[in-house]
Chain A
Amino acid sequence: MSTKPTNVEEIKKELIAKMPTKVARKRAKAMTPGGEGGEIPEIQANVRTIPGIITQRGCTYAGCKGVVLGPSRDIVNLTHGPIGCGFYSWLTRRNQTDAGPDGENFIPYSFSTDMTEHDIVFGGMKKLAAAIQEAYDNFHPKAISVFSTCPVGLIGDDIHAVARQMQEKLGITVFANSCEGYKGVSQSAGHHIANNQIMKHVIGTNDTPVEGKFKVNMLGEYNIGGDAFEIERILEKCGFTLVATFSGNSTVEDFRVAHYADLNTVMCHRSLNYVAEMMETKFGIPWIKVNFIGAEASAKSLRRMAAYFEDQELMDRVEKVIAEELEIVKKVVDEIRPRTEGKTAMLFVGGSRAHHYQELFGELGMEILGAGYEFAHRDDYEGRHVLPTIKVDADSRNIEELDIEPDPERFKPRKTPEQLEALNAKGLDFKGYEGMMGMMKKDSMVIDDINHYETEKLIEMLKPDIFCAGIKEKYIIQKMGVPLKQLHNYDMGGPYAGFNGAINWYHDIDRMVNTKVWRLMKAPWQTDGPELEASYVAQ
């Protein structure tokens, strides 16, 4: 059994002891205790990473192309830049999709302008226009989206002008994202940029009404390992009509009619809250934060979604589904939990997963020793109520805030203010997100943008039974004899969302925290004793 962190302040001191003074001062602000049952401490988040300290973070391009727009299958995502960025974001995020036998699916393709020195010196706009034309000639997509990489911004290519010109010429949707890697401090800036561009160029561009009684969108769900498939299964079983998912198992055609949904549900608050806010302003669609990671959390989310529509039949059906599904889940938990109860976990990853997955560990009776995000903001830690107090720094100011107005024809408030208030009283919590820290114990560590050194120290001190992070951390931590569960790509497992997902998770975690592999690390002759016996024999 692991040692429990009894004194967060002492651990914190240890973590920053070796760092240069300036670095230590900055890192100290990114470390706090949990805030369960009391005041939630302020944490430093969404600030620049200190150069050289081995961060988990990626870049703006990764957040824009890789995360938000990458999972849409019927769009040609064209990277404008040298070959690397397009190469590394090619199929590496496990966004599953179901295009059917003959639907369009460009996810297995990587498209790049492959800029060379000539383009950097003389500008890449002509090459970009030609590449869009060639993409059209070869693939005839309905939409092409362009992503700029670092040098594009520096040499001043006007990718938006090229996109406009090609849209006119080809008669299909062509839009561009200025998501140069250096913008912002992490992937997070790229999420925002992608949100802006799909809002400007795609959402609401088709006014063919969508049929269905209880129409919802799912925002911030990327179908890693089939999560969205499982959520789709549950929603359908309950009787909801899923209009669009942003952006797991999605199409641009779904985005175009997303304004017909009557409720936006937000899974990953960090990456898609902007669209939720903008759609509410423009079309009058309220949004609620949901969580389909964890069987209980899924049930709770479904109940809130049903409550929103104020339809008894829907609510009854949802209860029936929950009862049915939980019965199966419970059998598995009962079988596995004795083997996981009391084990400890740490989660340092992403912008919502480090929060959501605490639910699943809780269902296994496991304790969270520490958690933190890779690229989230203070509201994801402390809750959205801190939004007005977050200082907008130079790095955030770089990212455009769209000026959204109610659509003159299509703005249609789904509920009256009175209805919203009444529903809020029933726990709907519109536009609310309580963040991660409120559910974390006071003797657990919360660390933002954890670096390699802190990770290694933390594991040495607290010896968790499992650590959750990503591919870059995986084998470092496993070399220490601690299993690492990847929460970006799930170690090729999943789905982990919904009820079936929870069951998959229980099995996988059971296997990982109870693996016998660590016992194989020492050969018989590497433990004390044999030499001694041998020397007796020799005598």
Chain B
Amino acid sequence: MDRRSAIRNLAFVMGSAALLPYCTPGKPTAHFTHFDVNLDQQNLVADLAETIIPKTTSPGARDLELDKFVWLMVDDCAKKDEQEAFFKGLGEFNDLVKKSYNKNFSDCTKDEKATLLNTFEKKPSQKNLTPTDEKYSKELRGFYGTVHWLTVFGYTESKYFMTREIVWELVPGRYNAYFPVKNLKAAKNG
């Protein structure tokens, strides 16, 4: 543990010495090991996550702080070039929103947000490149794809989801090889 935290501290010192090329102007409001993030960027990711996993009768991405999980994962698990691509894609996403609605994503209505994100959606039958894939750059698709999967990953592996939405037990204690799906629903609601 000591060794690892030592390495982490070292990485922090080295990371903060480097300037990130794709940071948009704005005062950094969050410091990560490998980059700083400004308020606009924080809001964008949080709004994206909330649009993907919205608050309904159950908690949404903001309630579960899934945006923080997205940033942590990008900080710790993405390589330098992937982080650079992420920020480049983030910038392009902002451009796309401006072009579409002439305002920031955060200022868009729910419907505007959903309409825009739905242009990224693929049906299971769409295995190959779609017109969207050609229209949007690799970095843009990569940025949104990263935010999307990390939001969903963070949600489905959250304590809330695993203890309240599905019946995940630390100690199942048994293996029932013929468990009807309807029982799963009963257990979930009960």
Q: Do A and B come from one complex?
A: no
Chain A residues within CB distance 8 Å of chain B: none
